[in-house]
Amino acid sequence: MAAAPFELHPQLRADAHALVDLDLSRVLLMDDARYAWLILVPMRAGMSDWIDLPHAGQHRLLDEIELCSRALRIVARPDKLNVAALGNLVPQLHVHVVARHVGDAAWPKPVWGIGERAPYPADTLAARKAQLLAQIEIARRG
Amino acid sequence: MAAAPFELHPQLRADAHALVDLDLSRVLLMDDARYAWLILVPMRAGMSDWIDLPHAGQHRLLDEIELCSRALRIVARPDKLNVAALGNLVPQLHVHVVARHVGDAAWPKPVWGIGERAPYPADTLAARKAQLLAQIEIARRG
């Protein structure tokens, strides 16, 4: 039997921009200029919790989180990284990697449900995507 | 030079009960009977973000998260697992693994900062610790 095809959850498609497909995960940039915020979505159908992935896939996801974390450190110089697989509203397995700064819009609270999303202006969006893509590529080769 | 000794952050010591030391992490049970909630604290000084651990340690932490997740699935039968390394208030690297249920005290929001912690009565605490310990042991051997 063929595996069900992967389809990005409509809520993630609505809230974020596709950045790059890694070996396992589609990396999205959350459309919220208040934070540098990436979301990794393993391109496998029917996964909800991290431990739903096979063991090697769990590790692969973590390695891709590391790539994204390193890129965010270079691009956003965060005071803290937040890494979270929640999924109470969007059951499709996805992991948030958020660059946090002391004094940001939610600090020191978690980012979810705080105020209104602030979509990127088009030129800022293009620049941010390009920066992050370049750093993910560098981390990948590193 | 000897590595600095590991010491549990006082806030974690105040909010949670030590359950077991795994190879890398001290596992704590959050003293909040509203949720089945474990916290893993890698026993290494000076770590704040997940990617601060060496590569093998990052994977080891994930494997220990998997053990705790499997134990929580058996003990608490959650609708969703929440896995999160935040650390905005407590900078010492730690990962929350929380068994969530539709309709629980925070659902569908994240658990942090919602209402007041509800400490376990002594007998419930002992029972919950014993159940979780037993299941972590089984997952370890599995």
pLDDT at res. A1: 57
Query: For the segment B5-53, what is each residue's pLDDT rounded down to a tens digit?
Result: 999 999 999 999 999 999 999 999 999 999 999 999 999 999 999 999 9
Task: Work out whether strand A95-100 and strand A16-21 pair parallel, antiparallel, or are unpaired.
Answer: unpaired
Q: Which residues of B touch A108 (CB under 8 A)?
A: 88-89
Chain B: nearest CA to A74, how far in angstroms? Answer: 13
For residues A12-43, b (16+ Cβ closer than 10 Å) or e, as one string?
A: beebbeebbebebbbbbbbebbbbbbbbbbbe
The answer to whether A66 contacts chain B (CB < 8 Å) is yes
Angle ∠(A6,A10,A16) on CA atoms, nearest 5? 100
Reported confidence tier of residue B1, pLDDT bands at 50, 70, 90: low
Judged by CB atoms closer than 8 Å, whether chains meet at B84 and A86 is answered as yes
The complex's ipTM works out to 0.97
Centroid of chain to Cα A58: 16
Distance, in Å, from the CA atom of B127 to the CA atom of B130, rounded to the nearest integer, reads 5
Higher pLDDT, A3 or B134: B134
Given a cut of 60, is residue A62 above it in pLDDT? Answer: yes
Q: For residue B81, what are its two tokens? A: 């697992």
The answer to whether B40 contacts chain A (CB < 8 Å) is no
Q: Which residues of B touch A113 (CB under 8 A)?
A: 109-110
The set of residues, in sequence order, having a beta carbon less than 8 Å from that of A117 and lying 6+ positions away, is A15, A30, A31, A32, A34
Q: For residue B86, what are its two tokens? A: 């935040």
Q: State pTM to two decimals.
A: 0.97
Q: For residue B72, what are its two tokens? A: 């929580």
Q: Taking residues A88-94, what's their average pLDDT?
A: 97
The answer to whether B101 contacts chain A (CB < 8 Å) is no
Judged by CB atoms closer than 8 Å, whether chains meet at A80 and B87 is answered as yes
pLDDT at res. B114: 94
pLDDT at res. A77: 98
